[in-house]
Chains A and B, each alone.
Chain A
Amino acid sequence: AQSVTQLDSHVSVSEGTPVLLRCNYSSSYSPSLFWYVQHPNKGLQLLLKYTSAATLVKGINGFEAEFKKSETSFHLTKPSAHMSDAAEYFCVVINTGTASKLTFGTGTRLQVTL
């Protein structure tokens, strides 16, 4: 079985400062990993995905994530936070052997202050 652990349930940053949302995964095989963002009362939007190509993945809205196999991590970063980035972020892994079934992390709520 595969799993993801989001290490912080809540992160608060000031506008213009860097964002780091942490995610660790557990997998017996090479995983496919995703970050999704959810704004209040909205569905999920795909930010970026890693599928065994380049380990540094660039996504939308200036976000990027680096797949580090040695650390089993897939942390999400952004150089400069914007107020519109305030949302819930989910790290997600595909379950091996169960095509397209996603396993979600518990989510990290990002708060951006002035």
Chain B
Amino acid sequence: GAVVSQHPSWVICKSGTSVKIECRSLDFQATTMFWYRQFPKQSLMLMATSNEGSKATYEQGVEKDKFLINHASLTLSTLTVTSAHPEDSSFYICSVDREVETQYFGPGTRLLVL
């Protein structure tokens, strides 16, 4: 399957700062990537669909100005959590839509906002 990496694997930041999370498709040129959020002991919730060369598509209820997504190349999508607050603490996971109707997931990034 596709190899997807994320960096950093975990990050701790102060409230009010911004944090950037990278998602890389290592062996596949991905025109579409997805960003999910997972709270402890809960399922994954789709935040947005990242489209190479165009604006991301956000799910209902997700603040696009708070969660900035950039998909500048076919192998890299970034999620920036702006002015992070403790309630943004979560596990963020990206995925690559490689095969028809099949997504491959990155290892996730755990964010803790103090």
Residues of A that sit less than 8 Å from B by CB: 32, 34, 36, 41-46, 49, 51, 90, 94, 100-102, 104-107
Residues of B within 8 A of A105 (CB): 43
Q: Is the CB of B107 within 8 A of A100?
A: no
Q: Is the CB of A46 within 8 A of B104?
A: yes
Known: A100-B97, A101-B46, A104-B44. A44 touches B110 (CB 8 A): no
Residues of A within 8 A of B110 (CB): 41
> What is the bound-complex CA distance between A55 and B102, given in angstroms?
17
Q: Is the CB of A100 within 8 A of B103?
A: yes
Interface size on B, residues (CB 8 A): 25
Q: Is the CB of A34 within 8 A of B102?
A: yes
Residues of B that sit less than 8 Å from A by CB: 1, 4, 6, 32, 34, 42-46, 49, 91, 93, 95, 97, 100-108, 110
Query: Would you list 18 pairs from A and B whose C-beta atoms are within 8 A, ordered by A residue?
Result: A32-B101, A41-B91, A41-B108, A42-B108, A43-B4, A43-B105, A44-B44, A44-B105, A49-B101, A49-B102, A90-B43, A94-B101, A100-B103, A101-B46, A101-B49, A102-B34, A102-B46, A105-B43
